Amino acid sequence: MTTYKDKLKNDFNDFEEIISNDNHIIRVLFRMYLNGDYGRDISEKWFSRWGEADTEKKARSMVIQAFGEYNATDYDCSYQQQQRWLVNNIGHEKLEELNKVLMSDFDDVMEGIA
């Protein structure tokens, strides 16, 4: 049986590709999650929060939360489990790179909804 850890390890094995490729499956599915493909209520929640994120710190926090909730959904694990796995296996420095591209993806989706 494949565990959430196995799935995360497989999907995050080429981390540089996730960062550099806008069409990497992880980023595509995250954008789909944000734009309502996983449910209209999810899209509405993040659109509302996007309007409230008036500082970069708030926007960063919101994107981390959104990506964590998306991962928990897609990998069938808790928010804490996916977060722990990412920190332990990817590391803080690389995750900051990911946060930057995810913030851009997030803005693109929300601007498309607006």
Q: pLDDT tens across 13-54, in order? A: 999 999 999 999 999 999 999 999 999 999 999 999 999 999
Q: How do residues 78-103 score in pLDDT, each as one tens digit?
A: 999 999 999 999 999 999 999 999 99
The rounded distance, in Å, linking the Cα atoms of 2 and 112 is 36
Average pLDDT, the chain: 96
CA 26 to chain centre: 8
**Is 90 exceeded by the pLDDT of residue 114?**
no
Is residue 105 within 8 A of residue 66, CB to CB? The reply is no
Is residue 49 within 8 A of residue 62, CB to CB? The reply is yes
The rounded distance, in Å, linking the Cα atoms of 78 and 86 is 13
Percent of the chain with pLDDT over 70: 100
Reported pTM: 0.94
Which of the 8 DSSP states describes residue 64?
H
Percent of the chain with pLDDT over 90: 96
Which CA distances in Å does 106 have to 12, 38, 88? 19, 15, 24
Pick from 3, 4, 11, 15: which is nearest to 90 by CA?
15
Q: How do residues 30-39 score in pLDDT, each as one tens digit?
A: 999 999 999 9
The mean pLDDT value for 61-77 works out to: 97
